[in-house]
Structure 1
């Protein structure tokens, strides 16, 4: 997914431009830190105290220049209008958050308002069009049949989460002034893979296969997750 995001940033902004980035639901700060290391000014929003502590610990170990380029705010992302003026950011990330939001439209509209004209909105969501794939591949036939008629699934912790259908989310992005520019699949082949990292040689090939599938039809349409990129008009 980092490669997909870098591709979109490189194709939209001048080389070397220091971007203003907002990462909503940044978790432990992996993407935020990566972008701060690349020279961008990053603001991370997170509501979970454990995640905030982990992100701050990771940031504390960085060189001073990187620490100065990143700030962390305790927030669930629904109060962006309180913290920032409209158009304050060139890139807004919202990865793995919408699945935990029952009514995502107000959050999405708020994120779009944060974007400057031409800014990039990057969303990572559960793929509501492919929920039957995972139980089907595991031979859980009753769950596979039930998944055709729902947009609710279980995450890795067993929590019920909401999935988004691409057509519906595409319409939402158009309605908030950040129409879909491109989209990718994430975890096409590896969603049911065993836990634990593969060796370096296997990982390189695995990532190449996933990256290729994530941009190629029909494979990307059955990915466990969708990475959608909208652009502010």
Structure 2
């Protein structure tokens, strides 16, 4: 089965013209992750934390975390992605361990209580059983550990489909329990903030505050950033301001939660 990696961070519908710079798309997530890592370093007294990236693909998050000095393991079902991860890590001058497997298999692949942080980004949409996947994540986290969950939001999908002129599909995305816009939708399911918080709680986590990721970035034509000094920086600042806004976060392309063990 496919798990979340960088390929699934592409945009939908009108977002094909979006500002797709990785810095713009992930700035909000990095803000939260770096704060969580600092808190964990302070709580444990260890500068080098053990991090697992479930469905980490080619290492978009894993390699920068390794560059920061952490011990990172990527679990991903794609051998091609793991090979690309190895090359990316080598280019950065760091070591990242790659293991072929699914998020649901973490208990079989890793030792219990081996991780301070588990990334579960763009994974729950694709696994066979999201609840079981989060239970597997909980099993490999140490007490006090943190899971970072990033998942697609059906409200944003409805907005993107409507901006592309697919109005019936937009309505379907809002009505469908899985947030799908039709039988040809490549994403098996999407999650509201309430659904993600409920899944985390059921797996034994205390959910943190919901954050919206890519509130505006997937709606802004890339030409507005081309050749405009400071435009990307300004868009990142706007994304950071909108991430916790009580209305805007609910229309973001993705929703981000930390779950505390």
In the alignment, what sits opposite 1:106?
Answer: 132
In the alignment, what sits opposite 1:88?
Answer: 114
Name the CA distance, whole Å, in 2 between partners of 1:215 and 1:31: 22
Q: CA distance change for structure 1 residues 166 and 141 in 2, over 3 Å: closer, same or farther? A: same
Q: CA distance change for structure 1 residues 198 and 211 in 2, over 3 Å: closer, same or farther? A: farther
Name the CA distance, whole Å, in 1 between partners of 2:156 and 2:222: 21
* Kept after mapping to 1: 8 A contact 2:150/2:257: yes
Q: CA deviation digits over 1:111-151, x for unaligned, max 9?
A: 01111111110011011344322223344322222222112
Higher helix share: 2
Q: CA distance change for structure 1 residues 194 and 27 in 2, over 3 Å: closer, same or farther? A: farther
In the alignment, what sits opposite 1:27?
Answer: 57
Q: Quick check: 1:184 aligned with 2:205?
A: no
The farther-off stretch of 214-223 and 158-167 is 158-167
Q: Out of 232, 243, 251, which is 1:222 matched to?
A: 251
Q: CA distance change for structure 1 residues 28 and 115 in 2, over 3 Å: closer, same or farther? A: same
Residue 153 of structure 1 aligns to a residue whose secondary structure is coil
Q: Quick check: 1:58 aligned with 2:88?
A: yes
Q: CA distance change for structure 1 residues 212 and 12 in 2, over 3 Å: closer, same or farther? A: farther
In the alignment, what sits opposite 2:260?
Answer: 231
In the alignment, what sits opposite 1:136?
Answer: 162
* Kept after mapping to 2: 8 A contact 1:128/1:166: no
Q: How many Å apart are 1:158 and its aligned residue?
A: 6.0
Name the CA distance, whole Å, in 1 between partners of 2:142 and 2:69: 19
Name the CA distance, whole Å, in 1 between partners of 2:84 and 2:238: 31
The farther-off stretch of 18-27 and 43-52 is 43-52
Runs of 4+ with >4 A deviation: 195-200
Q: Quick check: 1:47 aligned with 2:77?
A: yes
Name the CA distance, whole Å, in 1 between partners of 2:72 and 2:136: 18
Name the CA distance, whole Å, in 2 between partners of 1:43 and 1:82: 14
In the alignment, what sits opposite 1:211?
Answer: 240
The farther-off stretch of 12-21 and 205-214 is 12-21
Q: How many Å apart are 1:180 and its aligned residue?
A: 0.2
Q: CA distance change for structure 1 residues 59 and 225 in 2, over 3 Å: closer, same or farther? A: same
Higher strand share: 1
Q: Quick check: 1:6 aligned with 2:29?
A: no
Name the CA distance, whole Å, in 2 between partners of 1:90 and 1:198: 39
Alignment of 1:164-179 (within 5 A): 164-179=191-206
Name the CA distance, whole Å, in 2 between partners of 1:137 and 1:128: 14
- How many residue pairs end up in the alignment? 226
When normalised by structure 1's length, the TM-score is: 0.88
In the alignment, what sits opposite 2:186?
Answer: 159
Q: CA deviation digits over 1:49-101, x for unaligned, max 9?
A: 221121111112232xx22xx21111122221122222110000011111112
